[in-house]
């Protein structure tokens, strides 16, 4: 699913899942459900190699070869091949089949269902493998790539708008959204940018790979928190060779206005609950609480930690509105 | 032979097997497989499910200990542990009988690569292998698969019609207690023939008016104490209502051009109703499952086929799932199979029995109406 959360958003490519039909159905269904929840009524083009019992016993490489032949005959811009648990268990040489000469780019993304790691591993793997489509370009310091947006995140467009707003304050424009509703030819323009922004790559897995492939400097994550948003603006300015002083001042004013907008929350008591599994960056919550005059105490209103952290100042504004609903509710 | 398919849209055998067994109260169903298999199953099966959440280590070093752990946790709440084997454990082929917390468990080998949801459902019932109890009164109801959004409504409708005939209900497959399911009576009526259990002597199905009348005639002959006349009266009244509303529709509308998608049994029933009472032109009937002999359907378990059928048929009414609604957003639409997205279906509608006939006709004639 991690692979498909990337490849399904490469609009002129086809994803081929090497496994039984049921596995592809599960992923098609989950993608359709999630996109419907986002009011996106589109069904990504995903093909199954249709492994049956015969292939499980005698090997599925011929089935993969046949499926690739059929898919390539429709002349897609690229085919992304992901394998499943059972294909990995029987030991099909998926990489070998994909590396044969085909009429269009065929990119094998190591995945292998639960034998290939977690959702994040598949997602990182897909983003990394698709860099093979990048062609030489001329770096333009006015352009920025956005890499690894969480396509299944409900706030994905909101977060993009917030980062775009910050970039516009610095006179920057987005080059490509890698990979969010783009084409294979869009990926070829990757090196036209002077900076790469990762949605969330705090461990640097993607950063190291992309730097080696493109040489473009990068920042590891979208900004989360008040100070982090200001630091983000400064870092973007520094890496693109421009003065960020005015942009930082404007953002500080915007952040200061949050305290006015949410002055009714000043003096309220709150506590944050991660439900034992959310990645709770408590420092950020305390920072925002203090900025608005909220007191953090175990006896306070329980605020659930959001599954995805709020991006930029706009994200904090939406988060504070939610806190208000909890207090009022 | 494997064949590539574009966006397969019908669940695999593992889902059918899990749906069958989880529908029997008293079972502790364990999906022996990965989290993704479980999460999907959990999204389409309304009954409780459990999972071993296999990871790579267990595939290399053996899955038994993990199964034992889950079985022990589940045993206090279960009359019988049921293990549904998914693709990878079925492929590596361990003997897992020693890992079920010392109880007599039921193993259902239903890897996804062995067939679709209907196949898995039948495999599970075959593994359960209930024996007919000739001393038990009543008639069994089968063909109730919980992934079908009409299953509960179908059960209630079958019970209603049997009650009108004074016939008690015996076992219900698969919406019953485990104890009841293990001792069926000798005769069975079928809600959905695509998942008929084969348990007991079949009296027929309840899909469509003709089938209902035939089935209750068989029941009347087999059960002298029953009084099936009230059911025949209901069928007659239903047909009168259908004729009246369809005639009214056809006085101001052309007969609809309909393309249908869903479970083959339902499509056959709908096709018969729509052609008989609405003079409908059937542009295509794409069955998610393999149609039985004599069906009007073609097998279309993937979106590639669905797209072609909609494109070539140019229907002015589509009966199907949200997939079809997504592909043809401007065409009037009736929801008759999963997935159901953006809409909620809370009441227990039947597609069988006389109420099923009425609901389908009502939905079709109302589908194109805009405004009050």
Mean pLDDT of A173-193: 96
* Cα–Cα–Cα angle for A40, A41, A47, rounded to 5 degrees: 110
pLDDT score recorded for residue A36 = 79
Q: Which of A107, A133, A159 lies at the terminal end of a domain, its last residue?
A: A133
Judged by CB atoms closer than 8 Å, whether chains meet at B6 and A25 is answered as: no
Number of domains making up chain A: 3
pLDDT score recorded for residue B369 = 64
Q: How far apart are CA A114 and CA B33, in angstroms?
A: 9
Residues 6+ apart with CB under 8 A from B139: B162, B167, B168, B169, B170, B185, B187, B188, B189, B203, B219, B223
Q: Which two tokens stand for residue B122?
A: 């039948």
Q: How far apart are CA B237 and CA B235, in angstroms?
A: 6
Judged by CB atoms closer than 8 Å, whether chains meet at A60 and B12 is answered as: no
Give chain B's residues under pLDDT 50.
371-372
Q: Which two tokens stand for residue B329?
A: 């957003």
Is the CB of B7 inside 8 Å of chain A's CB atoms?
A: yes
Mean pLDDT of A18-30: 90
* CA-wise closest residue to A111 among A103, A102, A100, A98: A98
pLDDT score recorded for residue B182 = 96
- CA A174, chain centre distance (Å): 16
Is the CB of B55 inside 8 Å of chain A's CB atoms?
A: yes
Q: Which residue of B has its CA nearest to A71?
A: B4
Q: Mark which residues 32-51 of A lie under 8 Å from B by CB.
A: 32-33, 36, 41-51
Same domain flag for A231 and A209: no
Q: Which two tokens stand for residue B179?
A: 């104890």
Same domain flag for A103 and A213: no
Q: Mark which residues 322-341 of B lie under 8 Å from A by CB.
A: 322-323, 326-327, 329, 339, 341
A79 or A276, higher pLDDT: A79
pLDDT classification of A112: cutoffs 50, 70, 90: confident
Judged by CB atoms closer than 8 Å, whether chains meet at A85 and B12 is answered as: no
CA distance B147 to chain A (A): 14
Q: How far apart are CA A10 and CA A44, in angstroms?
A: 9
Is the CB of A26 inside 8 Å of chain B's CB atoms?
A: yes
* CA-wise closest residue to A222 among A295, A275, A282, A281: A281
Q: Which of A199, A222, A245 lies at the terminal end of a domain, its last residue?
A: A222
* Cα–Cα–Cα angle for A142, A146, A149, rounded to 5 degrees: 165
Residues 6+ apart with CB under 8 A from A90: A56, A59, A60, B91
CA distance A232 to chain B (A): 36
Judged by CB atoms closer than 8 Å, whether chains meet at A45 and B7 is answered as: yes
Domain that holds residue A269: 223-329
CA distance B56 to chain A (A): 5
CATH topology of domain B234-367: Rossmann fold (3.40.50)
CB atoms within 10 A of CB B75: 17
Same domain flag for A268 and A233: yes
Strand order in the sheet with A301-304: A295-296, A269-273, A301-304
Radius of gyration of chain A (CA): 22
Q: Which residue of B has its CA nearest to A38?
A: B342
Judged by CB atoms closer than 8 Å, whether chains meet at B34 and A33 is answered as: no
Reported in sequence order, the residue ranges of B134-186 that DSSP labels E, i.e. its strands, are: 139-142, 169-172, 176-177
B13-128: in CATH 3.30.230.70: no
Judged by CB atoms closer than 8 Å, whether chains meet at A46 and B7 is answered as: yes
CB atoms within 10 A of CB B366: 12
Same domain flag for A289 and A228: yes
pLDDT score recorded for residue B343 = 65
pLDDT classification of A280: cutoffs 50, 70, 90: low
pLDDT score recorded for residue A281 = 59
Q: How far apart are CA A311 and CA B254, in angstroms?
A: 54
B354 or A202, higher pLDDT: B354
From A26, A32, A70, residue closest to B4, measured CB to CB = A70
Judged by CB atoms closer than 8 Å, whether chains meet at B302 and A21 is answered as: yes
pLDDT score recorded for residue A113 = 72
3-state secondary structure B203-268: EEECCCHHHHHHHHHHHHHHCCCCCCHHHHHHHHHHHHHHHHHHHHHHHHCCCCEEEEEECHHHHH
* CA-wise closest residue to B215 among B287, B276, B143: B143
Same domain flag for A245 and A328: yes
Mean pLDDT of A70-75: 94
Is the CB of B60 inside 8 Å of chain A's CB atoms?
A: no
Is the CB of A122 inside 8 Å of chain B's CB atoms?
A: no
- Return the residue matching tokens 């409780």: B48
pLDDT score recorded for residue A40 = 75
Residues 6+ apart with CB under 8 A from A234: A244, A248
Same domain flag for A22 and A126: yes
Mutation target to probe the B interface, by most B beta carbons within 10 A, among A22, A42, A49 is A22
Pairing of strands B201-205, B50-51: unpaired
- Indicate the domain borders of chain B: 13-128, 139-227, 234-367
Secondary structure (3-state) at A204 = coil
Q: Give yes or no for a contact between A20 and A137, defined as CB atoms under 8 angstroms apart.
A: no
> Rounded mean pLDDT of chain A?
91
Helix axes A245-261, A156-169, angle to 10 degrees: 130
Comparing B13-128 with B139-227, is the CATH topology the same?
yes
Given a cut of 80, is residue A245 above it in pLDDT? Answer: yes
Measured CA to CA in angstroms, residue A167 lies from A141, A226, A311, B322 at distances of 12, 17, 14, 39
Q: How far apart are CA A71 and CA A15, in angstroms?
A: 9
Judged by CB atoms closer than 8 Å, whether chains meet at A89 and B10 is answered as: no
Q: How far apart are CA A69 and CA A67, in angstroms?
A: 5
B82 or A271, higher pLDDT: B82
Q: Give yes or no for a contact between A35 and A42, defined as CB atoms under 8 angstroms apart.
A: yes
Q: Which two tokens stand for residue B223?
A: 């059960």
Same domain flag for A119 and A203: no
CA distance B324 to chain A (A): 10
Q: How far apart are CA B286 and CA B320, in angstroms?
A: 9
Judged by CB atoms closer than 8 Å, whether chains meet at B112 and A33 is answered as: no
Q: Which of A160, A190, A222 lies at the terminal end of a domain, its last residue?
A: A222
Is the CB of A311 inside 8 Å of chain B's CB atoms?
A: no
Same domain flag for A96 and A64: yes
Mutation target to probe the A interface, by most A beta carbons within 10 A, among B6, B52, B299 is B6
Same domain flag for A119 and A155: no
Is the CB of A20 inside 8 Å of chain B's CB atoms?
A: yes
Is the CB of A8 inside 8 Å of chain B's CB atoms?
A: no
Q: Please report, for the domain that includes residue A183, its CATH number.
A: 3.40.50.1980
A275 or A136, higher pLDDT: A136
Residues 6+ apart with CB under 8 A from A37: A154
Given a cut of 80, is residue A39 above it in pLDDT? Answer: no
Same domain flag for A117 and A28: yes
pLDDT classification of A30: cutoffs 50, 70, 90: confident
Same domain flag for A125 and A146: no
The architecture CATH gives domain B139-227 = 3-Layer(aba) Sandwich (3.40)
Judged by CB atoms closer than 8 Å, whether chains meet at B11 and A36 is answered as: no
CA distance B303 to chain A (A): 9
Measured CA to CA in angstroms, residue A317 lies from A120, A159, A248, A256, A312 at distances of 28, 12, 18, 11, 9
pLDDT score recorded for residue B97 = 81
């Amino acid at each position: 699913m991690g692979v498909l959360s990337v490849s399904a958003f490469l609009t002129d490519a086809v994803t081929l899942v090497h496994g039984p039909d049921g596995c592809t159905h599960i992923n098609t269904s989950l993608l359709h459900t999630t996109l419907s929840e986002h009011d996106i009524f589109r069904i990504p083009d995903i093909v199954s190699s249709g492994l049956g019992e015969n292939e499980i016993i005698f090997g599925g490489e011929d089935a993969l070869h046949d499926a690739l032949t059929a898919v390539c005959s429709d002349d897609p811009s690229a085919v992304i091949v992901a394998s499943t648990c059972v294909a990995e268990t029987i030991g099909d040489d998926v990489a070998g089949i994909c590396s044969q000469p085909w009429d269009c780019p065929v990119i094998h993304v190591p995945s292998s269902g639960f034998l290939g790691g977690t959702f994040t591993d598949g997602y990182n793997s897909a983003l990394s493998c698709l860099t093979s489509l990048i062609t030489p370009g001329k770096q333009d310091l006015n352009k920025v790539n956005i890499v690894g947006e969480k396509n299944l995140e409900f706030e994905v467009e909101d977060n993009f708008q917030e980062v775009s707003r910050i970039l516009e304050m610095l006179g920057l424009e987005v080059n490509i959204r890698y990979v969010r509703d783009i084409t294979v030819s869009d990926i070829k323009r990757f090196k036209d940018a002077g900076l790469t922004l990762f949605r969330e790559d705090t461990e640097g897995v993607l950063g190291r790979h992309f730097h080696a492939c493109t040489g473009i400097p990068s920042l590891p994550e979208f900004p989360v928190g008040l100070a982090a948003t200001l630091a983000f603006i400064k870092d973007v300015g520094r890496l693109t060779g421009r003065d960020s002083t005015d942009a930082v001042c404007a953002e500080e004013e915007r952040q200061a206005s949050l305290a006015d907008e949410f002055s009714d929350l000043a003096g309220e008591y709150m506590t944050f609950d991660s439900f034992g599994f959310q990645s709770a960056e408590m420092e950020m919550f305390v920072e925002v609480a203090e900025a608005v005059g909220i007191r953090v105490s175990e006896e306070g209103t329980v605020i659930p930690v959001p599954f995805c952290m709020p991006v930029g100042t706009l994200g904090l504004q939406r988060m504070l509105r939610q806190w208000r609903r909890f207090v009022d509710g | 032979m494997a064949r590539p398919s574009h966006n397969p849209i019908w669940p695999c055998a593992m889902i059918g097997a899990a749906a069958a067994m989880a529908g029997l109260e008293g079972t502790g169903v364990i999906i022996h497989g990965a989290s993704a298999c479980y999460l999907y199953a959990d999204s389409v099966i309304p009954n409780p499910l459990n999972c071993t959440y296999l990871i790579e280590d267990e595939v290399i070093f053996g899955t038994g200990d993990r199964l034992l752990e889950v079985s022990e946790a589940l045993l206090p709440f279960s009359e019988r542990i049921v293990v549904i084997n998914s693709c990878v454990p079925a492929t590596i082929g361990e003997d897992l009988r020693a890992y079920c917390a010392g109880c007599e468990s039921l193993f259902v080998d239903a890897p996804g690569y062995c067939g679709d949801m209907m196949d898995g459902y039948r495999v599970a019932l075959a593994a359960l292998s209930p024996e007919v109890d000739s001393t038990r009164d009543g008639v069994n109801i089968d063909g109730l698969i919980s992934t079908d959004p009409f299953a509960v409504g179908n059960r209630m409708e079958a019970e209603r019609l049997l009650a009108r005939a004074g016939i008690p209900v015996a076992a219900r497959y698969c919406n019953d207690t485990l104890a009841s399911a293990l001792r069926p009576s000798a005769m069975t009526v079928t809600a959905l023939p695509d998942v008929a259990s084969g348990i007991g002597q079949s009296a027929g199905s309840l899909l469509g008016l003709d089938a209902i009348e035939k089935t209750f005639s068989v029941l009347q002959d087999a059960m002298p104490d029953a009084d099936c006349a009230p059911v025949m009266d209901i069928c007659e009244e239903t047909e009168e209502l259908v004729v009246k509303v369809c005639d009214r529709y056809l006085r101001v509308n052309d007969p609809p051009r309909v393309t249908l998608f869903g479970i083959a049994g339902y499509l056959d029933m709908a096709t018969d109703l729509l052609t008989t009472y609405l003079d409908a032109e059937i542009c295509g009937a794409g069955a998610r499952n393999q149609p039985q002999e004599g069906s009007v359907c073609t097998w279309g378990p993937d979106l590639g086929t669905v797209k072609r059928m909609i494109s070539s048929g140019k229907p002015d009414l589509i009966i199907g799932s949200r997939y079809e609604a997504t592909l043809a957003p401007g065409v009037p639409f009736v929801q008759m199979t999963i997935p159901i997205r953006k809409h909620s279906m809370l009441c227990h509608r039947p597609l069988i029995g006389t109420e099923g006939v009425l609901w389908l006709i009502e939905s079709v004639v109302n589908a194109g109406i805009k405004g009050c």
